[in-house]
Amino acid sequence: MRLFRRTTGIADSHRRLVWQSVSLLLAYPENDAEGMPGYADRLALVEGVIDDLPPSVAGPLRSCVDGLTGSEVHEAAQRYVETFDLRRRRSLFLTYWTDGDTRNRGNAMLQFADAYREAGVEPPDGELPDHLAVVLEFGATVEFKAGMALLRRYRAPLALLQDALGQMGSPYAGAVEAVLATVPEPDPEQTRREAQRIAQEGPPSESVGLDPYSVTVPVDALAASLRTVGGSR
């Protein structure tokens, strides 16, 4: 099991483009509603920017898009729910890995909300602030350095998530692999020990219920955001 890969030379503009793309891929699959981007629209948006990225991240992203393309929305939604199963340690909620599905997660999630507010934005309504798709969109479009700090802090859970997705053969493994390629390890040995501890012990358990992340930005705005992110190189 190879959890940790060293990042290669990736420009910050490429990192932001990867983060915005993966935030779309990790949103709950659903049809268009009131101008919001549907499942097929999101895949097309990401497909349209892959060629602008270096191979180290373009390959995993393409693998994810190819693996997700062709499914009906209801099939994709069922696969999404089955894939990101808390009981099987495939959670997209970053603090779940360290604090479990418990009420003790409040302080950990508050750090995410505080980071958003310090950057001048409010946490999204109806979404938990530690959802990976939310963090990625924040880092890509609002405050890159703050987003990177959050991702680096939770790099061990990201590595475990990617490994779990890879073991089940999920296309989503490519999306998380692309994110990992953009996030340097602050302390490789410490990260390794943390990942081993989480893998052995597992998160604390106390179910309080978690909902999937949904895209709330109109498709035209998302397309413009991706063009802006990609054009800032």
**Does any domain span residue 7?**
no
**Does any domain span residue 233?**
no
**Does any domain span residue 72?**
yes
**Does any domain span residue 28?**
yes
136 close to 147: Cβ distance less than 8 angstroms: yes
Identify the residue with better confidence: 122 or 36.
Answer: 122
**Does any domain span residue 6?**
no
**Does any domain span residue 78?**
yes
pLDDT of residue 206: 46
pLDDT of residue 78: 93
CATH assignment at residue 82: 1.10.3480
The range of the structural domain enclosing residue 210 comes to: 12-226
**Does any domain span residue 176?**
yes
One-character DSSP codes across 37-78: --HHHHHHHHHTTGGGS-HHHHHHHHHHHHHHTT--HHHHHH
**Does any domain span residue 1?**
no
Domain count, the chain: 1
The rounded distance, in Å, linking the Cα atoms of 29 and 83 is 12
| Residue 201 clears pLDDT 80, i.e. is over it | no
Buried b (16+ CB within 10 A) or exposed e, 207-231: eeeeebbebebebeebbebbeebbe
pLDDT in tens, 9-41: 789 999 999 999 999 999 999 886 655 678 999
Identify the residue with better confidence: 219 or 17.
Answer: 17
pLDDT in tens, 124-160: 888 889 999 999 999 999 999 999 999 999 998 899 8
Phi, psi of 52 (to 5 degrees): -85, 0
| Residue 216 clears pLDDT 60, i.e. is over it | no
